[in-house]
Amino acid sequence: AQRVTQPEKLLSVFKGAPVELKCNYSYSGSPELFWYVQYSRQRLQLLLRHISRESIKGFTADLNKGETSFHLKKPFAQEEDSAMYYCALSGADNAGNMLTFGGGTRLMVKP
């Protein structure tokens, strides 16, 4: 079974402060991890995936297999980063077709 946990339902920071959205997973195999984001009145969309090792909108996320974590980080938060963030996992046992999402974290960046 696979599970994704986002311990914080709400994270509030001031503009310019560093932000870290926590994600922990449980999966016995080799997972692929993703971050999805939903801005106000917009569709849920892919932000980044660990396999790409890329930085999107200043966000990065490193897969830590030892800690089974995939935390999303940004050194300086902007007001436009305010959104709902979902961590998601896909495992090889379903051919990678199924995503298991965490409960989501709402990020509020205050001016």
Partner 1 sequence: DAGVIQSPRHEVTEMGQEVTLRCKPISGHDYLFWYRQTMMRGLELLIYFNNNVPIDDSGMPEDRFSAKMPNASFSTLKIQPSEPRDSAVYFCASSLGPGTQYEQYFGPGTRLTVT
- To the nearest 10°, report the CA torsion of 53, 54, 60, 63: -10
* CB nearer partner 1, residue 15 or residue 24: 24
Instruction: Name the minimum Å distance from CB 61 to partner 1.
Output: 15
Contact predicate 3/23, CB 8 Å: no
Contacts of 28 (CB under 8 A, 6+ apart): none
Instruction: Name the minimum Å distance from CB 91 to partner 1.
Output: 10
Q: Please give the residues from 38 up to 57 whose contact with partner 1 meets the rule CB under 8 A.
A: 43-46, 49, 51
For residue 104, state whether it binds partner 1 (rule: CB under 8 A).
Answer: yes
Sort strands 72-74 and 60-61 into parallel, antiparallel or unpaired.
Answer: antiparallel
Q: Across the chain, how many H-helices and E-strands are there?
A: 0, 11
Interface with partner 1 (CB under 8 A), residue from 19, 21, 35, 90: 90
The binding site for partner 1 (CB under 8 A) comprises: 32, 34, 43-46, 49, 51, 86, 90, 94-104
